[in-house]
Structure 1
Amino acid sequence: MTTNLPELRSARLILRSPIREDVDVRLALGRHKEIIEAYGGAFDPDAPFTRRHAEAAMRHIEEQEYAWVIDAGRFIGHVRFHSMDRRDKRAALAIGIDDPAYLGRGYGTEAIMLALAYAFSTGLHRISLRVLPSNTRAIACYSKCGFLEEGRERESAFINGRWEGDIIMGVLDREFRWRPE
């Protein structure tokens, strides 16, 4: 479904449709505690990560209407828009960096800025997202991209046996400014 999207490029990365080789890269990356918990999942060190899991991850990206692989010479993650509402000109953003070697190095920021520039060029007015308060790295990235905290939803996720809330953040078209690194 993502085949109609344009390929987007910046200095260090390409946002593109998935390719067959991405499954092998995703499989080799496996699962990482920090990343799983940042997504709001529970990490089980004994749970295997199989080719079937890697294929499902790529299929999930392919099945989204507005989703790209983040390619920094190879697959490192994905960025996508969901909950698209064309009448109200809004969508929600989700991003995942699956390679821990690329965390904290600005790749998420670069991918989000490319995706936002595209989204706002298509006439969208508002992009929102949800993030766990414990995910301080993501919050800093989102703030750098122009997102503002708009509120909090209490006890919205049950993670590792306890309730956590979500921070709701948003950016409007008139607030967005492409800021290349």
Structure 2
Amino acid sequence: MTADLPELRSARLVLRRPMPQDVETRLALGRHREIVEAYGGTFDPNATFTRAEAEAAIRFIEQQSWAWVIDAGRFVGHVRLHSIDWQDKRASLAIGIDDQAYLGKGYGAEAIRLVLGHAFGRGLHRVSLRVLSSNSRAIACYRKCGFVEEGHEREAALVNGAWQDDIIMGLLDREFGSS
């Protein structure tokens, strides 16, 4: 199914399939508290990010039918559609920027807009996502892309020993581009 996944381009980004050198770049990026916790993980400052973990991260992207590496001159993260339901014409979106230097500079929004344009162009009607209520940076990015809050899942994630809500957001094809 990934053979027909196109490369998507914008002014600053290329969304593409993974390449072998992405493992080295992902390994060099390591792990950072803000990013780990935004994913809903628990950060251990004494844990080393290993080659096996970098390989697993890139392999995960390779194994997804609708996943792209976010390339801003090199690997900086990934974006993917999952839980695609062609009957109901909907999918879920997930994105991760793994390079701290690219946080808060619009790269995530740019990648999301590329994927949304492709998804809606292929006939999807709805794209949704879930985000930790504490992840204000991501929530602002999603709103910037046109997503609207549709609900909360109370105490849905245990992060660093504390319960957090998930916010459910969605975007319809007719709303895309009007934000």
Fold in common (TM above 0.5):
yes
SS state of the match for residue 117, structure 1? helix
SS state of the match for residue 57, structure 1? helix
Q: Please name the residue that 1:55 is paired with.
A: 55
The answer on whether the counterparts of 2:146 and 2:178 sit within 8 Å (CA) in structure 1 is no
SS state of the match for residue 80, structure 1? strand
Q: Please name the residue that 1:40 is paired with.
A: 40
Alpha-carbon distance change, 74 to 160 in structure 1, aligned in 2, over 3 angstroms: same
Question: Unpaired segments of 5 or more residues in structure 1?
Answer: none
In the TM superposition, what is the alpha-carbon distance from 1:4 to its structure 2 partner? 2.6
Letter in 1 for 2:137: R
> In structure 1, how many angstroms separate the alpha carbons of the residues matched to 2:18 and 2:139?
27
Q: Please name the residue that 1:91 is paired with.
A: 91
The answer on whether the counterparts of 2:149 and 2:169 sit within 8 Å (CA) in structure 1 is yes
Q: Please name the residue that 1:126 is paired with.
A: 126
- Within-5 A mapping of 1:75-114: 75-114=75-114
Number of aligned residues: 179
> In structure 1, how many angstroms separate the alpha carbons of the residues matched to 2:128 and 2:143?
12
Alpha-carbon distance change, 178 to 15 in structure 1, aligned in 2, over 3 angstroms: farther
> In structure 1, how many angstroms separate the alpha carbons of the residues matched to 2:131 and 2:109?
15
> In structure 1, how many angstroms separate the alpha carbons of the residues matched to 2:48 and 2:21?
20
> In structure 2, how many angstroms separate the alpha carbons of the residues matched to 1:104 and 1:141?
9
Q: Please name the residue that 1:26 is paired with.
A: 26
> In structure 2, how many angstroms separate the alpha carbons of the residues matched to 1:2 and 1:37?
30
Q: Percent identity?
A: 71
Alpha-carbon distance change, 125 to 59 in structure 1, aligned in 2, over 3 angstroms: same
> In structure 2, how many angstroms separate the alpha carbons of the residues matched to 1:115 and 1:78?
11
> In structure 1, how many angstroms separate the alpha carbons of the residues matched to 2:149 and 2:178?
19
SS state of the match for residue 134, structure 2? coil
In the TM superposition, what is the alpha-carbon distance from 1:2 to its structure 2 partner? 3.3
> In structure 1, how many angstroms separate the alpha carbons of the residues matched to 2:19 and 2:58?
9
Q: Please name the residue that 2:141 is paired with.
A: 141
Letter in 2 for 1:51: R
* Aligned-pair Cα RMSD in Å: 1.1
> In structure 2, how many angstroms separate the alpha carbons of the residues matched to 1:2 and 1:45?
36
Letter in 1 for 2:128: S
Question: Unpaired segments of 5 or more residues in structure 2?
Answer: none
In the TM superposition, what is the alpha-carbon distance from 1:130 to its structure 2 partner? 0.3
Letter in 2 for 1:22: D
In the TM superposition, what is the alpha-carbon distance from 1:3 to its structure 2 partner? 3.8
The answer on whether the counterparts of 2:83 and 2:91 sit within 8 Å (CA) in structure 1 is yes
The answer on whether the counterparts of 2:15 and 2:68 sit within 8 Å (CA) in structure 1 is yes
CA deviations over 1:89-124 (Å, ceiling 9, x no partner): 000000000000000000000000000000000000
> In structure 2, how many angstroms separate the alpha carbons of the residues matched to 1:144 and 1:43?
28
SS state of the match for residue 60, structure 1? helix
TM-score normalized with structure 1 length: 0.97
Letter in 2 for 1:44: D
